[in-house]
Homo-oligomer: A and B are copies of this chain.
């Protein structure tokens, strides 16, 4: 049941299973795409932002609401909302001084669900 060792070269620095590396290299994602993807997931990689997103998946909320809900400073929440806005995960509407935030699309709910599915094994 051993794999063919025939094409195991030396790995001085670089060379190995040349054929495989070449093939995978051809099918690899563009660097640009990978970086965009990383930025996207990075946004989900913070508890505060996840909580905000989860809260907004249930109801639109203003900044004060969110700060109270998460027991965090208005400033901290506002900074994070900016990140979420810039990555187009949330949108907002103004009503006087109050700004109401909500999810930008349902798409995000699905990402969330995939994550939860993995976490809950």
Contact = CB atoms under 8 A, between A and B. Distances in A.
Contacts of A17: 61-62, 65
Contacts of A95: 2-3, 5
A76 interface: no
Contact of A58 (B24, B98, B112): B24
B46 A16 contact: no
Main secondary structure of the interface of A (DSSP, over half): helix
A64 B54 CA distance: 40
Given A2-B95, A11-B74, 19 more contacts: A3-B100, A5-B96, A11-B64, A17-B62, A20-B65, A21-B61, A21-B68, A27-B58, A28-B51, A34-B47, A37-B50, A39-B45, A40-B119, A41-B45, A41-B50, A42-B45, A44-B44, A107-B114, A107-B118
Interface of A: 2-3, 5, 8, 11, 14-17, 20-21, 23-25, 27-29, 31, 33-47, 50-51, 54-55, 58-59, 61-62, 64-65, 67-69, 74, 95-96, 98, 100, 107-108, 110-112, 114-119
